[in-house]
Amino acid sequence: MRDAGGEPDPLWPRRFADDGYFVVERALDGPLLDGLRADADRAVAEERGRLERGEPRYVPVSRLDDRYVISGFVRRSEFVRQLVFSELMASICRATMGADAFLYSETFVCMAPNNENGWIWHQDSSYLDYVGCGHYPPNLGMWVALDDVDSRNGALRVLPFSVLNVRRVVPHDLTKPWTSPDVVDFGRHDGGVLLPVPAGSIIVTSGALPHASDPNRTDRPRRAYLIQYSRQPVVKDGKPVQLAVPFLRDGIRRVPTPAEIGR
């Protein structure tokens, strides 16, 4: 990985404020990107096994031979920790959230070849609202493309703040299947902005940014890794809703040990 992608781009904060996202192209390469791809393949293989056995899952939106969402590799993989707690991620957090940041969640988000379902329009921080934590600021998302992505294999589509002007989380009905357009209604729009990017690129998003992706219509898997950071621990009934791992304190980056990461 290039050291923080060079110097942080001074345009990041303005782009983030105006549109709710920006792209850092080809931020990862070499052994780190290869290692994350291998982790993604291992995660999918394990998730396939759980689905075949009918086991309960922590993230219940995976579908066999369709799409997979797998958490927990930040405790298992040196490659994941190298990325999640890198100076690059610290630079992006400082530019978008300020001096303090906590790791909130991390998931591989992968599509099988020629799968049926993409992802409906949604906001990542809708879950906070759904569980009664909507008073927290929207999380920061970093969607890392592990493969080249385009219109054929499920590139992200976004509805920029400057176009739709949706800057707060809209209530989602998360009791409905994640394949149903009835989960949330953002009103009429033109289908958003498609974001094709080369492998190793990072799409940085506000948790309030509406986004979606089409199915993977190619013969190869589409692998991505999503990290979310929060400005403060997101707590309900005295316990963290997801992770609450300190990453930035007063702008200073810290790299926690696997034992410090928790569940």
Query: And the tokens for 213?
Result: 């992706």
Low-confidence ranges of the chain (pLDDT < 50): 1-5
pLDDT, position 3 = 38
The C-alpha torsion from 60 through 77 and 207 to 25, rounded to 10°, is -130
Tens of pLDDT, residue by residue over 183-208, are 888 887 887 999 999 999 999 999 99
Residue that is written with structure tokens 């400057």 in the block: 162
* 3-state SS assignment for residue 249: strand
Cβ atoms of residues 216 and 112 within 8 Å:
yes
* 3-state SS assignment for residue 32: helix
Q: Name the average pLDDT for the chain.
A: 92
CB atoms within 10 A of CB 184: 19
Residues 6 or more apart from 33 whose CB is under 8 A from it? 146, 199, 200
CA distance 124 to 106: 12
Handedness of CA 51, 54, 55, 60 (dihedral sign): positive
CB atoms within 10 A of CB 192: 18
pLDDT, position 57 = 66
pLDDT, position 97 = 96
pLDDT, position 71 = 94
pLDDT, position 65 = 94
Domains and CATH numbers, the chain: 18-257 (2.60.120.620)
pLDDT, position 226 = 98
Tens of pLDDT, residue by residue over 46-60, are 999 999 999 876 567
Query: And the tokens for 204?
Result: 């940085």
Query: And the tokens for 179?
Result: 């394949």
**Which of 91, 126, 125, 122 is closest to 13 using CA atoms?**
91
